[in-house]
């Protein structure tokens, strides 16, 4: 297989309905977050502290888990995040990616 995998960092450039735009942290911010979590990694929790929470925290500085297109979708605990709005935007973006292929 020679095709490169498709990587979708679903929060890159996403603006929520309150006007907050999510963007990738600087390399230094990401490095600091990795070190922070390595030294103080909380107990894994499927709904409140899973690998998606960790990945979004490291990249964006916020813990968000949508479990996009999975059975856990909408079940994860996300503080101050409008998951329905975000999911609608992600679905629209994924449709645009699929149709451009």
What are the extents of the domains in the chain? 27-100
Write b or e for each residue in 15-31: b if 16 or more Cβ atoms lie within 10 A of its Cβ, otherwise e: eeeeeeebeeeeeeebe
Q: Output Rg (C-alpha) for the chain, integer angstroms.
A: 15
Closest-CA residue to 73 (of 88, 58, 92, 55): 88
pLDDT digits (tens, 9 = 90+) for 52-101: 889 999 999 988 887 655 545 455 566 666 767 776 776 666 555 444 44
What is the pTM assigned to this prediction?
Answer: 0.66
DSSP structural state of residue 6: P
* Distance, CA of 71 to CA of 88 (rounded, Å): 16
* pLDDT exceeds cutoff 50 at 25: yes
List 49's β-bridge partners, or say none.
Answer: 45
Rounded distance between C-alpha atoms, residue 67 and residue 64, angstroms: 9
CB 64 within 8 A of CB 74: no
């Amino acid at each position: 297989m020679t095709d490169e995998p498709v990587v979708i960092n679903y929060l890159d450039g996403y603006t929520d309905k309150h006007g907050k735009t999510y963007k990738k942290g600087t390399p230094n911010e990401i490095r600091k977050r990795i070190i922070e979590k390595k030294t103080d990694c909380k107990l894994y929790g499927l709904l409140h502290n899973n690998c998606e929470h960790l990945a979004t925290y490291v990249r964006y500085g916020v813990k968000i888990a949508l479990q996009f297109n999975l059975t856990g979708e909408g079940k994860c605990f996300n503080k101050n995040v409008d998951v329905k709005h975000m999911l609608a935007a992600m679905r629209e973006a994924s449709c645009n990616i699929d149709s451009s292929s």
